[in-house]
Structure 1
Amino acid sequence: MNANIERMKLIFLGFLAMFVAGAIGVGVWQVGWVMPRDKCEKEQRKWWDPDQRVCAQPVLVSDITGRVITDDKALAEAKKAIGRPAAPAAKGEAAPAAKP
Structure 2
Amino acid sequence: MRIQGQPDVYSILNAVQVVKCIDDRASREVRYWTPEDGRPEKTGQYRAVYGMRIDPIRVGATRVFRPWGWTLSLIVSDEVRAAALAHLGASGVRFEEVCPQPPAP
TM-score bin, normalised by smaller chain = under 0.3
TM-score under structure 2 normalisation?
0.25
Higher helix proportion, which one? 1
Higher relative contact order (CA 8 A, sep 6+): 2
TM-score under structure 1 normalisation?
0.25
Q: Which has the larger radius of gyration?
A: 1
